[in-house]
Amino acid sequence: MKIIKYKNFEVRPLAGALGAEILDINLNKIDDETFNEIYKAFIDYQVIGIPNQKLSSDEYLEFGRRWGKIHHYPYMKGLESHPEILEILKTETDTYAFGNVWHSDGSFTEVPPKATMLYAQELPPAGGDTLFADMYQAYDTLSDTMKNILDTLKGLYVGDQPLAQFSGAKSMKQKDPGKTQVKSYHPIIRTHPDSKNKALYIGGHTVEIEGMSREESEPIINYLKSHSTRPEFICRFKWEPGSIAIWDNRCTQHYAVDDYAGFRRRMHRITILGEEAPY
Ligand code: SIN
């Protein structure tokens, strides 16, 4: 477990593996030194939660732009007033919660997002948490033989897998229902540009290994999916109104827990473009 001290704020780790809450900061009033420390905490803990924020959409977007260029989600429309902000909404009658599968955001795009930030707008009375899994530990705990096998392999990441499920997310606005297929190959093991650590890059969008048939790929992919989400690698983020969470898609997976049927949950998401391969 990491216990790291910062100059401008206190942090509270969320679990042994990854994740921390940053306490007593107001994102409307941060100077560059504090921003740089927030970025450091993001690299150190992979997922950071920042409670009690009051940002307008303009302010939220301004904060988002400090992290880099905005990554645009290919399947759903953003807010009319702020197309860069994707509203993740599940109403009382919707039957599908967006993100209810282990995944790394946008892994099917050619240049996937390095970071995602999510800002809680409306929450159910209980539930609707988000789970995160540490892909550094997922990599480190593989055998050397498995690491060597995976070292040069690329996975095929396909983005249209959940489109059928999107029909249960009626309250979200699809861009081009059923037509868009976005897919990309990426290394299954990637080296993080800041930490220089190796991470397993796997998730719900990984369907095949380059150069192998689906039948050959599936046992390996299925093993990696189940290995990478062992309880020891996980933290659970409990949302409060006004919470913002920011996670590193290059070294984590996440899962939106759908345990609040009949209630409403509304979140605002901004994704930040990552680096181009090789990584
Ligand atoms: C997502 O997968 O980006 C959404 C996660 C969530 O709503 O908790």
The CATH number given to whatever domain includes residue 206 is 3.60.130.10
If you average pLDDT over residues 47-54, what whole number do you get?
Answer: 98
Residue 83 lies in a domain: yes
Is residue 5 included in any domain, yes or no? no
This model's pTM is above 0.75: yes
Q: Kind of pairing, strands 86-90 and 130-134?
A: unpaired
Domain count within the chain: 1
Write down the pLDDT at residue 279: 80
Question: Is 1 a domain residue?
Answer: no
How far, in Å, is the centroid of ligand 1 from the Cα of 89?
10
Q: Evaluate whether residue 279 is within a structural domain.
A: no
Residue 132 tokens, joined:
């995160």
**Position 4 in a domain:** no
Whether 193 is covered by a domain: the verdict is yes
Around ligand 1, the residues with Cβ closer than 6 Å are 88, 98-99, 105, 116, 118, 130, 254, 256, 267, 269
Dihedrals φ, ψ of 46, to 5°? 75, -30
Count of C-beta atoms within a 10 Å radius of residue 275: 14
27-31, 176-180, 266-270: range with lowest mean pLDDT: 176-180
For the chain, how long is the longest CA-to-CA vector?
53
**Which range of residues forms the domain containing residue 138?**
10-273
Q: For a substitution probing ligand 1, which of 76, 131, 267, 272 has the most ligand atoms within 8 Å of its CB?
A: 267
pLDDT in tens, 75-115: 888 999 999 999 999 999 999 899 999 999 999 999 999 99
- Distance (Å, whole) CA 10 – CA 218: 43
Q: 99: CA distance to ligand 1 center in Å?
A: 5
- Judged on CB neighbours under 10 Å (0-12, 13-18, 19+), 93 is exposed
Go through 176-215 and write b for each residue having 16 or more CB atoms within 10 A of its CB, e for each that does not: eeeeeebbbebbbbbebeeeeebbbbbbbbbbbbeeeeee
Is 278 domain-assigned?
A: no
The verdict on residue 253 lying in a domain is: yes
* pLDDT at site 277: 83
